[in-house]
Amino acid sequence: METLKEMILNNSGTLIDVRSTMEFEMEHIQGAINIPLDEVPHRIEEMRKLQAPYILYCRSGNRSGMAASMLKQSGFSDVYNAGGIEDVKFYMN
């Protein structure tokens, strides 16, 4: 089984930035898609079509943790909270 770092480095699954659109436009991880936390409940069906695993990040790990909980409550099983954007950058080095 791949570690979170390996998943990020190998571009496994889908990297999802749950920060606001403005935060995403200012800076994001290349290849990530932006689904702000407040939109997650309304975009569950769209997210089901994305490739698992679902790797979520935000600024600090708080919003991505909430989004991960929402997805798990909606039946997603391959969901990971990667923490904040700086954590993801660290994994990539």
- Provide the residue type at 57 as one letter: Y
pTM (predicted TM-score): 0.96
May I ask the CATH class of domain 4-92? alpha beta
Catalytic-role residue among 15, 58, 67, 88:
58
Give the domain ranges of the chain. 4-92
pLDDT for the residue numbered 2: 85
The gap from C-alpha 56 to its chain's centroid, in whole angstroms, comes to 2
- Work out the end-to-end distance of the chain between its first and last CA atoms, rounded to an integer number of angstroms: 20
* Residue 58, C-beta contacts closer than 8 angstroms, at least 6 positions apart: 17, 18, 19, 37, 64, 67, 84, 85
Is 81 annotated as catalytic? no
Task: Write out pLDDT tens, residues 36-86.
Answer: 999 999 999 999 999 999 999 999 999 999 999 999 999 999 999 999 999
Give, as one character, the DSSP assignment of residue 78: S
